[in-house]
Chains A and B, each alone.
Chain A
């Protein structure tokens, strides 16, 4: 049983962690938390299943097309739901505008794709039991994404520009960085990461429209626990959440595992509103 808990916990945790990184990627350049993060991961599964099972494309083509579609949805988020409300960030209108867009995405998926979970194809076919690819694939995707992001942020000019904007938007603009284009790029990147989460977790979660709302919540928990914009926190938090949830699932049953996750979420946030790895509050007066 321990092996099952570890395998399914790490797999689910990796998906949550990736959704958390999606949140953070959008947040870093715009200071906006977007309800579309979980929907992007849902679309990763739905598009993947559509391209590979419905249209019969090979895995690589399916993956590339899925990620392109998710990137486009990410860019649409920036144009439709984020840019118009950035002027008055303090009014928090983004909560409503991104919620509206997320609901639209979910409703279109429900009507056009169907409200029943649909299967996701086997991608590689290595391993079985607790080493089945549906368990190790999300973990592998998570590792690859982390390495990719580390390379991007540390070694490339664009990545450093992302960091500069995340650190101090005004200073970055004063240096002449094309803030708007970088923001669009970061939303496209967020779309790709969300797509990877959904695609790699497709066999685990299936292609199901309601995954969006679920992943919105389970992906946000690690962000909240780890602190906004902190990718390391999100990944540790995501994996811990997955293990905790699956352990509760095996030990006390499905319903109580979600109650346990919710209780944990509320307690940690009430005790440490900035997250466990976050920094102190801004000055109020």
Chain B
């Protein structure tokens, strides 16, 4: 779909190397795990099996907590649910008994359903609220298990499912659980490194920017909660089998704490880290037997230490690549000419027009009857003193504010007020006054976020790493590298974005906005904080973008930049249009000069 400047062969190499360096440690851990039977006894089989089962759950929870940043601390509830669902189905308390390999998938479906029910509050609620709601759910599940005696056996409990040969020995069952753990790792890694994983991180760290690129929060989160719930329920089924007999007492809140802390010790947005965290936390009480009663206390101390000392967890400690110093005298040299290599797909040709837009905050009329036309291939400047409604206008166009009056049209179609996540699909992209990038992701990943809605592969295809998902990834990565070349940041592609300078973040945002090849680009003070040279290069870049047929709406305070590149200029004052016209007209406009530009 796109062809990019640099030679493809040279770009492939680092990409595949970085994949290998991520996968190799995971394969190493599992290779070591398969050797466990040859060096130890049945006691360690039990511990190994437990670690594998916990990891099946944590692999899914990691996407919710580590990637999504949702503090789900009550996930033991879904383990309980899976354990009881599997046991009840196999025992035939409610329905006719079914074989355990039929019961597990059914339990997984139940788990997925409840995963969404537990997770739904995350769509509206923030941090502490969501943590509390999962905690509340965890208490309720245990109480129901206790009270619903006819089905769950109440406090007396119920027998766990039994697996047939060859999985009925300690080591046979160990290998079965290890197999599930390997599949869970593979699936969560597939999602984590697909556009869905990046979308999760974007919603966590830069929700507003994620919406502007068209990422749908409900869709993304619901898919993840389905997966995490299903994995947790399967882990529950295996756990019940390992326990041979389950009572509500088996599912203490300590388990929830273990799962949650394993992820935090491991580090956000990593898979290797939480895997190590799970193994360490499972083994810890065993090797320190006298401390077994204090295990939760130990976990809590670990959690406190991690939060206070190394918030990045194990993953941050192992991230050697991002400790190499960056060159200090970097200059951003965009190559606007390279834009020509990226084909334009959209026909463009439509005009974005605002008529009589009005918006008030309380008694303040932020915008009062604004008319504005942004034409394809033209640069429209929006200037005015502070508080005159420039950024508010951008926010109305990109849907963060719903205007109280007036109409917005895109060509012939009406543009509905509100609904920011639908703007990207209509070809409207934007940057922000303070750059909103994901500090913990690489520069390349940040730019790839911009193209999320262009991906073709569904969540399931990404989960199973099917060809269409690979194609998406290659397409997005190639396009992002090409655009990094355009804005002049290609040498920093693999660096964590939070290590960059402010001016570089501004150019990342522009590259991200260009990923969708938008018909309209809204730039909110792109020159703020840039040096004189950088502003000149920015001017060249913006002109090149508009020459390709993109209409640019530019909010800016640098009068020189505005008069140099804008085809039309609208001057706002107190939410009303003070003047509108070409650069030459505005420069000599009496009121503008006295109110804003100065003599």
> Smallest CB-CB separation from A106: which chain B residue?
B296
> Is A220's CB within 8 Å of the partner chain B?
yes
Q: Which of B273-308 contact A (CB under 8 A)?
A: 293-294, 296-297, 299-301, 303-304, 307-308
Question: Is the beta-carbon distance between A284 and B136 smaller than 8 angstroms?
Answer: no
Question: Is the beta-carbon distance between A254 and B147 smaller than 8 angstroms?
Answer: yes
> With the chains together, A97 CA to B15 CA distance in Å?
37
> Is A214's CB within 8 Å of the partner chain B?
yes
Question: Is the beta-carbon distance between B128 and A33 smaller than 8 angstroms?
Answer: yes
Cross-chain contact of A96 among B125, B129, B148, B264 (Cβ < 8 A): B264
A77 to chain B, nearest CB (A): 12
A79 to chain B, nearest CB (A): 12
Residues of B close to A214: CB separation below 8 A: 139
Known: A111-B294, A284-B400. Is A100-B136 also a contact (CB below 8 A)?
no
> Is A64's CB within 8 Å of the partner chain B?
no
A276 to chain B, nearest CB (A): 14
Q: Which of A80-118 contact B (CB under 8 A)?
A: 80-81, 84-85, 91-93, 95-97, 99-101, 103-104, 106-108, 111
Question: Is the beta-carbon distance between B303 and A96 smaller than 8 angstroms?
Answer: yes
| Chain B facing A: main interface SS | helix
> Is A55's CB within 8 Å of the partner chain B?
no
Residues of B close to A106: CB separation below 8 A: 296
> Is B574's CB within 8 Å of the partner chain A?
no
Residues of B close to A99: CB separation below 8 A: 73, 131, 300, 303
> Smallest CB-CB separation from A88: which chain B residue?
B311
Contact-size category for A: 35 or more
Question: Is the beta-carbon distance between B135 and A216 smaller than 8 angstroms?
Answer: yes
A96 to chain B, nearest CB (A): 5
Question: Is the beta-carbon distance between B304 and A80 smaller than 8 angstroms?
Answer: yes
Q: Which of A91, A103, A253 has the most CB of B within 10 A?
A: A103
Question: Is the beta-carbon distance between B127 and A103 smaller than 8 angstroms?
Answer: no
Question: Is the beta-carbon distance between B131 and A266 smaller than 8 angstroms?
Answer: no
A12 to chain B, nearest CB (A): 16
Q: Which of B119-148 contact A (CB under 8 A)?
A: 120-121, 124-129, 131-133, 135-137, 139-140, 143-144, 146-148
> Is B253's CB within 8 Å of the partner chain A?
yes
Question: Is the beta-carbon distance between A95 and B127 smaller than 8 angstroms?
Answer: yes
Question: Is the beta-carbon distance between A91 and B297 smaller than 8 angstroms?
Answer: no
> Is A126's CB within 8 Å of the partner chain B?
no
Cross-chain contact of A100 among B120, B300, B311 (Cβ < 8 A): B300
Cross-chain contact of B121 among A100, A101, A269 (Cβ < 8 A): A269
> With the chains together, A173 CA to B388 CA distance in Å?
31
Question: Is the beta-carbon distance between B132 and A220 smaller than 8 angstroms?
Answer: yes
Residues of B close to A285: CB separation below 8 A: 208, 391, 395, 400-401, 432
List of 9 A-B pairs having minimum Cβ-Cβ separation, nearest first: A103-B300, A100-B304, A255-B147, A100-B303, A107-B297, A92-B127, A33-B128, A285-B400, A100-B300
Beyond A100-B303, A101-B300, 6 extra complex contacts between A and B, CB < 8 Å: A80-B304, A96-B307, A97-B304, A107-B297, A111-B293, A214-B139
22 A-B pairs in the complex with CB atoms less than 8 angstroms apart: A33-B128, A84-B308, A92-B71, A92-B127, A95-B127, A99-B131, A99-B300, A100-B301, A103-B299, A103-B303, A104-B297, A107-B294, A107-B296, A107-B297, A213-B135, A214-B139, A216-B135, A220-B132, A255-B144, A258-B143, A261-B136, A273-B124
User: Which chain A residues have a beta carbon within 8 Å of chain B's beta carbons?
Assistant: 33, 80-81, 84-85, 91-93, 95-97, 99-101, 103-104, 106-108, 111, 213-214, 216-217, 220, 224, 253-255, 258-259, 261-262, 265-266, 269-270, 273, 284-285
User: Which chain B residues have a beta carbon within 8 Å of chain A's beta carbons?
Assistant: 71, 73, 120-121, 124-129, 131-133, 135-137, 139-140, 143-144, 146-148, 207-208, 253, 257, 264, 293-294, 296-297, 299-301, 303-304, 307-308, 311, 391, 395, 400-401, 432
